[in-house]
Amino acid sequence: MDLDFDAEDEEFRRRARDWLAAHVPTVPLPSLETEEGFAAHREWERVLAADRWSVVSWPKEYGGQGVDLVKWLVFEEEYYAAGAPARVSQNGISLLAPTLLDFGTAEQRARVLPAMATGEVIWAQAWSEPEAGSDLASLRSTARRTDGGWRLNGHKTWSSRAAFADRAFGLFRSEPPYEPGFEARYEARREAGSGAAGKPHQGLTYLMFPLDADGVTVRPVGRLDGKPAFAELFLDDVFVPGEDVIGEPGQGWRIAMSTTGDERGLRLRSPGRFLASADRLARRWRAEADPADTALRDRVADAVIGARAYELFTWACASRFAARERIGAESSLNKVFWSEYDIALHETALDLLGAEGELAEGEPAEGDAAGQDWMEGYVFSLAGPIYAGTNEIQRDIIAERLLGLPKGRR
C-alpha cells in the first residue's frame, strides 16, 4: 500500500482546499434535521454541484469530476477539515448512487443522478420495518405487479431523511411463496429449527418511489432531542412505474447487499470525518485542559490514534478496490470500528468540556474554530451501533464469515 500522493493528487487537494476556503459558510447552518436546516443544506448541495464538487468521483455526465477513489478520499479529508456542512444528500450519493452505477439502467442513471447531485431531489432510505431491522430479510412490505408497474403496500420505519426528503428507495417482497400467511409459517419452522424454513431473502425487489405519491403517509419520528431525523412510511396501494425497479425483479437481495457494503464500508464514513474531529478535540485539549489529568489526556491520544488507524484501514480497502477486489464481509469490521469509535470520541470531548458540553449549538471556542456541536454529534453517534446493521449482527457476520466459527446464537 503506497501512501505517497503524486503531483496530480496534490494539485487536486490544493484545488479542493482553495474552493472550500472560499465557499464554506462562515456561520454553521441550522441542523439538517429541521425544516429550515434541511432547506439550507439542500442549497449547499446546489453550491457544491455548481462547480462539480458535490460528487467528485462520479462520471462527468452526471455532475461529477470523474476522479478516482484516491482523490475522493482526499476531497473528503479536505471537506471535513474545512468544517463544511453535513451532507443532506448522503443517502442518495453514498448508497443509492453506487447501486445505480452498478445495477441501474442508462435511463435510470441519466434521470436520477444529476438531480441527486444538485440536491434537487433528496433521497430517504426505506429499508427497515417494525419487525425487520438488522434481520432485513424478514421484511413484509409487498410489491405486486400491475399494468405498467407495481403496487406497494406496507410499513417502513426508521427511514432516514424521510421527514423532508423527496423520494425513497427500498426492498419489497414481490414473489411467491411469500403470500399472506407465509410469515407465520416461516416463523414457526424457524423456531422449530427446521432446515426447511425457506429462504426469506428470495423474491425481493429493489424499488424507488416518490414520497408525495398517492397512498404514501409520512409520519416523522423524533430523536432524543426531538428533531425528526427519521420517519415512518405507510404505503397503501402506491403505484410505481416499471422503470423504477433497480435490477431484475426478485433479485433485490443481491443488489441490496452491494448497497450495504457501501453503507458499512468506507463510503458512508470516510476517514476525513474522524480525522477532523480528532484534530479539533486535540486542539481543544491543548487550549484548555488540565495537564495533570493524564487519564483524559490518554483518551484524547486514543482518539487521535483511532482516527489514524481508521484512515490506514480505509486506504488498505481503497487499494483493494483499485485492484478490482470487493471487501465483502470485512465491511462489518469497518462498521463495528467506526460506530464504536465515534461514541468514544464524543464521550471524551464531552468529558473535556464538562458542563459546557451540555450546551448545544454554542459559540465556537478556542481550539475549536469550526464550532463543532459536540452534544449533537454525541446524540447522533449513539445510533451508530444500530443503523447500517446492528453491531450484534455484524459480530455474527465476522464470527461466521471471517473467522469460520459455526453458526448459532451468541
Active site residues: 263
Give the C-alpha separation, 316 to 117, whole Å. 28
Q: Which residue has the cell 469490521?
A: 333
With beta carbons less than 8 A apart as the criterion, state whether 170 and 125 touch. Answer: yes
Which of these, 283, 292, 294, lies nearest to 349 by C-alpha position? 283
Helix, strand, coil in percent for the chain, rounding step 5: 50, 15, 35
Give the C-alpha separation, 80 to 101, whole Å. 25
Contacts of 293 (CB under 8 A, 6+ apart): none
With beta carbons less than 8 A apart as the criterion, state whether 272 and 308 touch. Answer: no
With beta carbons less than 8 A apart as the criterion, state whether 338 and 381 touch. Answer: no
Give the C-alpha separation, 112 to 96, whole Å. 10
Give the C-alpha separation, 203 to 150, whole Å. 14
Q: Is 4 left (phi over 0), alpha (psi -120 to 50) or beta?
A: beta
Burial category of 36 from C-beta neighbours within 10 Å (exposed 0-12, middle 13-18, buried 19 and up): exposed
Which of these, 350, 365, 358, 272, lies nearest to 311 by C-alpha position? 272
With beta carbons less than 8 A apart as the criterion, state whether 87 and 117 touch. Answer: no
Give the C-alpha separation, 278 to 305, whole Å. 9
Output the CA torsion sign for 49, 55, 58, 64: positive
- Listed in order, strand segments (DSSP E) in 54-140 are 123-125
